[in-house]
Amino acid sequence: MDSEVVLVYTLDEALNHVGFGRFQILVLVYAGLDLVAEAMEETLLTSVVFAGLLVGSYSWGFISDNYGRSFH
């Protein structure tokens, strides 16, 4: 039989193993920016996401209609 070794880490051990690098610093900074953002800025950010979805879906629909039909 194959013997499997299962390692169990506590939360502190896992965090110490991963370390605190560039990615963790960026996540901390971006999470901190939410605390200083006002309601208008948060609403604007949400609106920009939906505007990007609208423009992107329309653009990719147009591109796929034009180029997809030429390959068919």
As a whole number, the mean pLDDT across the chain is: 86
CA 1 to chain centre: 42
Domain ranges of the chain: 11-71
Largest CA distance in the chain: 62
For every residue of the chain, which 3-state class applies, written as one string? CCCCCCCCCCHHHHHHHHCCCHHHHHHHHHHHHHHHCCHHHHHHHHHHHHHHHHHHHHHHHHHHHHHHHHHC
pLDDT score of 3 more than 80:
no
pLDDT score of 1 more than 60:
no
Residue 71: the pLDDT is 65
Structure confidence by residue, pLDDT tens digits, 5-30: 888 999 999 888 888 889 989 998 98
pTM of the model: 0.43
